[in-house]
Amino acid sequence: MEKNHSHHHDLHKEETHTHDKHAGHHTSDFKKKFIISLFLTLPLVVLSAAIQDIFNYQLVFPGTDIVQLLLASVLYFYCGLPFLKGAVSEVRDHAIGMMSLISVAISVAYFYSVATVFGFHGMDFFWELGTLISIMLLGHWLEMRSIMGASKALSALAELIPKKAIKLVGEKQIEVSINEIQPGDKLLVRANDKIPTDGIIRSGETHIDESMLTGESRPVKRVISDPVIGGSINGNGTITIQVTGVGDESYLQTVIDIVQNAQNAKSRTQNLADRAAKWLTYISLGAGFLTLVVWLVLGRELSFAIMMMVGVMVIACPHALGLAIPLVASNSISKVASNGVLIRNRTAFENSGKLTTVVFDKTGTLTVGNFTVVRVLSLVENYSKEDVLRRVTSLEQFSEHPIASAITNYGKMHEVEKHDVSHFESLTAKGVKGVIEGEGNAVLSPKALADFNLSPKEQEETAARTVVYLVISSELVGQVELADEVRQESKQAVKALKDNHIKVFMATGDNALVAKQVSDELQLDGFFAELKPEEKLQILTDLQAKGEYVAMVGDGVNDAPALATANVGVAIGSGTEVANEAADIILIQNNPEDVSKVILWGKLTKRKMMQNLAWATLYNVIAIPVAAGVLYPFILPPAISAAIMSLSTIIVAINAQLLLKEIK
């Protein structure tokens, strides 16, 4: 399947409300509250009547209940505040999850225990309250610590634009803030500077690097009346531009808007623990109230029925569930980081095993991202390939053109000895010429050959490459071909993905001939070429609309909207900060092969999470009915519940550690 996709698509914007249970909190908040909670919980455990019964000691003094009440109140209202706020937010957003479950358990435990202090018949749950809050704070701290933080894609995009520009007022050059620039202003852009805003060249000519904005692998020649894009990098020529687009009208602002819309619309799957917690909240409330009603109907006193109800609600929030996912996530994310992969969005990583399609950017992702010599040919018998390269390198060393730089670097890498060159001359938009060993030599572009009444021999494999020709005394004697070289790892990456029955496509801003060559070389399932950022995004949404679970792998500003929209966005670490910030996963080693490893690691992590959830849920399946009194007259004492809870937590922790051996 081959596609040349170059026409404009309308964006289909979808408003999807998402809920962030950690909104408004920082990693340090949970850590601080966890430490405080731990210190407050220790005396509650020591003073608990249930614990004293188990370990056969007695520690009672006047005001014991009041001390416990004060400690528990600080625990509930200060350390438990993130959960209470989170529960309110979940209820408001119709997204019942872990925060709601924890809040139900700690609220029931606290207020029931307060009632026992003031005369209500029953045993308090203060120590259960403390351990529950402490372990849940630990779990959320681990969870937040393992995630790199909120996306800064929009601010990173804004950083591409320089803060100052040189404005021309008559003969004067005045440095002004970028915010002071208006359409119609004339700006001076010196060699190698960033272009401050969209505009039209009014004087000078240059080659501009637009690769990280448009995906075009070659520096683009720009002359008078040609447009330029704000944020691109000027080459070796000084130019004057007339401003055409500032603020909302600029190309870069269009990209910013697309990324913002994509991030707002991207529905991040509610994670496993929250989905389990949602049902456990309903089960906890339902089972608790059912327990209360049944015991009252059976004629037991209100205090007994309430005690049984509270036991069910407290036990329904197992400590293991609070650690089941965060421990696995923390271990997994730290382990894959040591293997060169940074996880920014844990949910996307967990779901990477569901991928059916991977879409790669070309420039800098499947390819190296730099022009390089890929072939040297001699076209006549009396000149070898080495002769051709030596003469071309000797002439190009005096040129500042990007193609010349690539050839010169190639010559240095291969330790090519240069000829002495005299009468060197740069031929504008045509090439260079000079005298070597008494003969006229010229390195020319294909179009410039016509001036010498020469025509290149058409070769299919050179159609997607940049070619320069060596002419000696009006004879065409050789050619040098340049291209953006395919990474060595790309073939293995594509093969590994296909072996996992995952379709592989390429979406690039580069031209169709170049895209086809790379697609054929890598044996991709198809390609899309000459794309604008919004069109890359449309490719993703079209595939998703067909039921595909899609990963986007890219490195440039033009990839950011697609990275933010994909089910799993993967950035090559050597790419732009914008791409890294918009992605869910970053490959530090710049190796496309790591995409298949991420999928494998994601599957292992998800499986381990499911195992832990299964164990944590099994605890509930057994403990809730027993706590409700189905085995009456046997009643599950709080101390026994605590022992089961501890065993469950230990098993979950050990299982999470085993993941470290599985990720290699």
How is residue 194 annotated by DSSP?
B
Alpha helices in 171-215 (DSSP H): 211-214
The encoded tokens of residue 334 equal 């730290």
SS3 call for 300: coil
Neighbours of 205 (CB within 10 A): 16
Nearest to 451 by CA among 423, 426, 431: 431
The encoded tokens of residue 535 equal 């069109």
β-partners of residue 475 are 472
Nearest to 213 by CA among 557, 472, 546, 456: 557
> Is 361 a catalytic site residue?
yes
Residue 157's contacts (CB-CB under 8 Å, 6 or more residues apart) are: 252, 255, 256, 259, 557, 560, 578
185, 209, 361, 510: the active-site residue:
361
Angle among Cα 290, 295, 301 to the nearest 5 degrees reads 135
How is residue 222 annotated by DSSP?
E
Q: Which amino acid is at 454?
A: L
Query: What's the CA gap between 146 and 350, in Å, rounded?
Result: 13
Cα 451 to Cα 303, 304, 374, 407, 443: the distances in Å are 104, 103, 26, 23, 13
How is residue 41 annotated by DSSP?
H
Nearest to 539 by CA among 6, 120, 174, 1: 6
| CB-count exposure of residue 540 (10 Å: 0-12, 13-18, 19+) | buried
Q: What percent of the residues of the chain are helix, what percent strand, and what percent coil, each to the nearest 5?
A: 50, 20, 30
How is residue 456 annotated by DSSP?
P
Return the active site residues: 361
